[in-house]
Structures are given as C-alpha cells and as structure tokens.
Structure 1
C-alpha cells in the first residue's frame, strides 16, 4: 500500500459571512465569523485521515501513511500548534519546510455572501515558496517504500521540476496533480507529466471549454502519461476518463433536500480526497465509477456542513 505525500500550500482562514458582498467603502456587519486551517492539499489530508481512521476501526484494515509537504512559519510560532491540531495525529508534518524568520502563516480572508452564495477570497503570504532543491531534499528523506505524490497546481515551474525529479529517480511512485486556477501559466505542462489529473470547472471554462466532456476529449491527447483524467462541474457532478479503456464515466452530484447547502469552501478538495482514498485503498481493484460516486457523495455531504469535521463517520458505511 502506497503512502501519500501531499504537496501544496497551508493557510489559516478567517471566514466572514455577510448578507451581501459589500460595495466599495460600505460598512457592513457580518452575521458570523469562523477560523480554520485551509489550503487545498491540507483540506484533502484532513478528510483522508478521517476516512482511513474509520476504515481501520470498522474493517480492521491498515491505515495509509499521510505526509504533508508545505512551507510553514517558524517551528516555535503559535500557528504550528494550530496547524497540527487541525490535521490530526495521522498526518505527518515533520517533512514540511519552515521559514524560521517568519512567525505568521499564509492567511486567507474569505467573505461569504448569503444572498448569492458566492465567496470572495483575499490571500496574504509572506513565506517564500518552496524551491526545487528543498523539495528534492525532502523527497529523499521520506521513508522507503512506494508513494503517491499529489501536487496542488501552484508555482508550476517549480512543481514541474519536482515531478520530473520523481520520474527520473523514483519511477515507481505515482503522481497526481490538481489544475484549478485558469490564469496560472504552466499548468498544462504539469498535466502532461502526471498519472492522474484533476481539473476544475473554472480551469476548463477559462480555457474555452463548455463542458467537462469537451475538456477531457482535448486533454486525452495532451496527457501521454496519464491513466485517469477527472473534471468536476459543480451541480452537474463530475466526468472521468479511463484512458486505458477509453471509457468516459459520468457521476452525478450528490444532493439531499433534507440538508441544504451551507458551505462550499473545500468541496473540490473533499472530492479529491475521496478519489485519492479510492486509489490508495483499492489498488488493483480500483473502479472509476465507484470511486467518483463515492467522491461525489463525500463532497455532497461536506457542503451541508461547516468545515470538514465528522465526514469520515458520515460515510463510514461506504468505505
């Protein structure tokens, strides 16, 4: 069974809920405020540790080692304990890269509009990004054994070099990558190198595609290494492409009229967690349709609650 190494950013989020998005220079009272740890791969890790803990306790199955690789502030900073607590004891952060001259973590300030359901995000980050050399040192220090590396699609020029290093030196490792931000140059090159690619609706639309199927048809010819491509499309669910079998799979979004949508932040990260869980736990018995249905069910549950707590227990029956 492969260990998972998730590479990306770690944020501490402050989320303000307001009736409507404020106009410039408008004074507005928020109806609520919440604070939690964010970052795409960190959110996915938080969900994954719940899934594997529930699987281990209910089915007596071994867990999967989970490691985070992110740039964090000084080890002595207050934020480190908050980050550790948010992830749980099953996620190892000992391989993260610390900027000892910084005390503040990367931060996001999120404004949620109740009238439209939209969210506006402002980021602040004084931490220098990870370098290729730092990643290489980290990758070489990881415990022996087969691994699955999942990369958030950020700093593409560095991420590409990291993936290429793994290909040259650890050819048995698997690599997945998330393409989310449409304006970020260099993401297509990451998809070209990966075994599994997750595309967002915004990335697809930003590149001129009107549907998930249309995107995957184009990407099929641009991703020679990949075996699985997957694109989420909000309320329309997700579409996956099994390239080896040349089969397109559609999985409907999971909705429950009894539980209205209250928090979409991290829904895509939760979907990816469900897919990674299926890859890691089922191995050669992986079934794309079942994996996508499970991931959609998991993401559908997440949007009916604030945060990620209790997701593993909620879907324990399907693990």
Structure 2
C-alpha cells in the first residue's frame, strides 16, 4: 500500500515547484519532505521527480500525481457534509483553460461555481489544442479543449463553438490594405499572433500562398492586450467575435478578410469520477457555455 503522507509530500513538491516551498506548505522540515519522497520512490521502484529548477515529475510521477488528485477529490467528497469553512475545508481543483475562453466566458463560469461551493481553482493556461495534454498527464482534473475525443478514464461534454474573425481598425485597413487583402499587402502589414505555437494565422494566410515567416509578426501572449493592440491600430489579427461584440457593432474594429472566419469547437474533458466536485465543475462549464458559445 502507498503511504499517503509520502504521496502528499510528493504532490506538494511538484505543485509548489520545489522542496523548500513544499516543506513550508506541509509545516515540516525540508529533510522530512526529501525522506518521504525517497521512501515513496523506494516503494514504487522508480524515480518520481527530476531534480531540476523547478522540479518536474517523471512519467511515473505524473501517474501518481493524477492518482493522488483523484483520491483527494473522493476523500473530500466523502467528508464534505462535516466540513466548515476553514482553509483546510476548501479543495483546490486544477483545470486547464485556453486564454480566449478565460478572457470571455470563463469568468461567468467561475462566478457560477465558486459562489456556491468550497472549490478553489488552480487555472493552468494553455492553447485549446494543448490543454488536453494537461489532463492526459494528470496535471489537471478537467480542461477546456478543442480535441473532441475522450481519453481513457475520462468523459467529454460538448460546450459550443467559438468563432474567430480577422479584424483591424478602419484606419489600419485603409493604410495597409488600400487595394484589399492582397499577398503584397500581407507581406508588409504587421499581424498579431498569440505565441509561436499559434497556427491560426499560418492557416489563414496559406490560402493566399503565403508561408510562415513571410509576414511581420507581433507576439502577444495575452488575450486582453491582443485586443487592445488591435484597437490602437498596431496590427491586425484573429479575435473571437465573442470578445469584441461591442467593437464590431460600433465599427471600432472591422473584419478585413471578406467571408472568412475560423470556428473552433470546444469541449469539456474531465476524469470520469462520480464525485460532487467533478459534477459541479461539469455542470457550471456546460451551463455557462450554453449562454455564451454558439451551438
């Protein structure tokens, strides 16, 4: 049997990025944390942590981390009716969310969820194509993802569609695209991209025979700043229509590519556990998504 004090110490080291912080959280010495993890590694017969900065779990460590989180959810669910409202009575639930959802409909989801539960959220940010890996690795208990298929041991709920439009200010469009969205203009006009893993612009511009690296790019890894830079006329880019409804109505921002949009289908994935917290998470995400996302 696994000693759960040892497993708790291992999870604390991974979640807090090191032994010293884990010792502070657990109110024990750093040497005691190290000893518990050594005993756990001896018990499972494998290394669980790569001693880097910050520390990283090994493949076996990821499996144990996921197991610990599942057991913690079930244990908390078992005793929830006897809990009060001290710090120990809350449960922290890590979830993977993409930046554009976090900037639009997720705040309403959190309001729905957190005002009526004892859940504390630990939001892990990632592209909608990458959050699925967070769940697979045991890093989160649930995620918003563009991947439709459920993985083993998990369930999937369709949330809805997020539509992206290519926008800029009218002045920017007039300055850089006076003759329309031509390949010559695209190679000169600065475009906004979330980060270097974001392929949405490359996919759009490939329709015009333009390859990655052939156009000037601002990298802006923040959804709110992305929109702000676009509104200041510093570039153009693909933005969720949900995020700029007012700007589109007022013509502060205008679509600059005729009849082109990208639709991303979003899904909620979570562990297939019949616990109260998983159910509350799923219900909140599904309820609010129906109000905001296109079906």
Please report the TM-score for the alignment, with normalisation by the length of structure 2: 0.25
Bigger Rg over Cα: 2
- Higher-RCO chain (CA-CA 8 Å, sequence separation at least 6): 2
Q: Which has the higher helix share?
A: 2
TM-score for both structures, normalised by structure 1: 0.23
